Amino acid sequence: MDDERQKILIVDDERFNINVLVELLKPEHKTTVAKNGRQALERVLMGTPPDLILLDVMMPGMDGYEVIQKLKDNEKTKNIPVIFITALSQTSDEAKGFDLGAVDYITKPFQPTIVKARVNTHLRLKRKSDLLESLVALDGLTEIPNRRRFDETLDLEWKRAIRNNNLLSLVLMDIDHFKLYNDNYGHAAGDVCLKKVARSIEKVPQRPADLVARYGGEEFVAVLPETDGEGATQIAEQMREAVFSLGVTHEFSSASDVVTISLGVATIYPVVEIDQKYLIEQADKGLYDAKEEGRNRFVDVDMTISYDTD
């Protein structure tokens, strides 16, 4: 059986602080430590990722802000909750920490009861969100179906389409210049943006068999069974409009002054000889072309005539 205890990574350049925190948290949790930012990033990517990171803001070399930015920019580490460690009364640091995506902060000198309470609260939330994600296959942030649910649905619909000789369409989409959005407005605003986009595109397809899921990062996907190219492009255009009409300001996008998405549409008659990945690849090609052609648009890759790959 796995050890049920959750894992905490403690990052601080001062040995004394590390010792205090380890002593405090070790009885109930698994702890691991890092003395600087670089080491912290190595530890996070090595083995089982931690359930929570306690991150000192002031460190020589790479400081806490830089570390959290790197964590949030990586798909593998972006959902690990981070609690900032700040010196007492640095409230502007705390505000900046929240902007960058921290879930909480603790102040030095440490007050054991508060440290434990905050750590336990966020570990409990992490456990719940992990559980929810695995049980209902919902993405923890946007609360729309997650990648796993998409994989299962595509597999199921692919086989069903082969059996019934039906068409299957896929729409792959991506928020335009989302990195610039995060860099300029902060990760907290980025998360709000992801939620709004998810909610708006999820409402577009109307039939019960249609599925809209988070594909990863700022990418979303729609599986549209028994839908021809024309039907799929209509859905794609409605999704594009839905996001555009949210009117979320994005001053740093070359595509528009509001948040927009680019989309790739692919439609196929699935056959046993072809791997379902092919449909994703084709939609991805369309998405790539939509980006190249200026974003805030869809490109349709019609494969119902020939299956040629290149």
Contacts to Mg ion by CB under 5 A: 13, 56, 58-59
CB of 16 to Mg ion, least distance (A): 10
Give least dist CB 277 to Mg ion, A: 46
Q: Examine residue 225 and say whether the peptide bond preceding it is cis (omega within 30 degrees of 0).
A: no
Nearer to Mg ion among residue 102 and residue 167 (C-beta): 102
Provide the annotated active-site residues.
218
| Cβ distance to Mg ion smaller for residue 85 or 172 | 85
Least separation in angstroms between CB 5 and Mg ion: 26
Find the residue with minimal CB distance to Mg ion: 58
Q: What's the rounded Cα separation, in Å, for the pair 259 and 49?
A: 32
Cβ distance to Mg ion smaller for residue 64 or 145: 64
Q: Which is nearer to Mg ion, 87 or 95 (CB)?
A: 87
Among residues 199, 221, 225, the alpha carbon closest in space to that of 212 is found at 221
> Measured from the CB atom, is 37 or 270 closer to Mg ion?
37
CB-based burial, 29-42: b 16+ in 10 Å, e otherwise: bbbbbbbbbeebbe
Q: What is the smallest separation between the CB atom of 21 and Mg ion, expressed in angstroms?
A: 12
Q: What token pair was written down for 92?
A: 């502007």
Q: How far is the CB of 20 from Mg ion (least distance, A)?
A: 13
> CA 45 → CA 78, 83, 152, distances in Å?
11, 18, 27
